[in-house]
Chain A
C-alpha cells in the first residue's frame, strides 16, 4: 500500500521566516515519484517539483528547496524568507508503479505580514 503523511496540519509564520513542510511516504515500489503541489485559495493545483526515486540530490529553486532522503522515506520542502503570497495549502504526493497519484493530507501555511 502507498501512503503519504504530512504531520503538520497548519503552520503559521511571520514574513521572512524560513519554514519547512514535512512529508513522509510509504511504498513497496522500487521506482516511484514524489511531488509537491501548492493549492492557493482559488483551488487550482500548482505543480512545484517532481523527484524520482533514483535521484536523491537536493534541489533548490529560488526560495524553495527540497530534501529527499530515502533512508527516512522523507521528502521535505523548505521555503526560505517566506512571503505572504506563499500562504496556501501544500500537498506532497506519491506515484508508484501505477499512474495513480496519492496525496498527503496537506499542510496549510499562513504567512503573516
Chain B
C-alpha cells in the first residue's frame, strides 16, 4: 500500500482563493519532504524542499509567498497555494525521504493532487 498519501487528490477552486494540499508519510517519520509541480505533458519540476521544524528551501523561480510550505510534524507537510489563479492549475506531487530502515534514503511519492483554478 501507499506509504505517502496526498490529500485532496483533486481540487477545483475559484480564482483568488487559497488551497491547501497535504502530504503525509504513513509508516515512517520524514524529516525531509519535497514538492514537485507538473504541467500537462511536461516533466516534474522541483519546487521546494520541506524540512521539519525549519523553513522550506525553494528552488529558483518559485515564489515563496505564493506557495507556502509548512512541515510542522514528522509525518505531515502542507503546500498552500495562496490567491490561486488559473496559471497555478497543475498537478502537484510530494515525496518523502525515508530516514531509516530497509529503504533508508529512498524517496516515496504521493499520488499527486490535481489543482484546477477557475
Q: Name the residue on A nearest B93 (C-beta).
A: A45
* Total cross-chain contacts (CB, 8 A): 42
How many interface residues does B have (CB within 8 Å)? 21
- Structural contact, A101 and B112, CB atoms closer than 8 A: no
Q: Is B46 an interface residue (CB 8 A)?
A: yes
Report B's interface with A, CB cutoff 8 A: 32, 34, 36, 41-46, 49, 91, 93, 95, 97, 106-107, 109-112, 114
Q: Can you list 18 residue pairs at the A/B interface with Cβ under 8 Å?
A: A43-B111, A43-B112, A44-B109, A44-B112, A50-B106, A91-B43, A95-B107, A99-B32, A99-B49, A99-B107, A100-B34, A100-B49, A103-B43, A103-B44, A104-B43, A105-B43, A106-B42, A106-B43
Interface bin, chain A: 10 to 19
- Structural contact, A105 and B42, CB atoms closer than 8 A: yes
B43 surroundings in chain A (CB, below 8 A): 91, 103-106
Q: A50-B106, A91-B43, A106-B43 are in contact. List 6 more A-B contacts (CB 8 A).
A: A44-B109, A100-B34, A101-B46, A101-B107, A103-B44, A103-B45
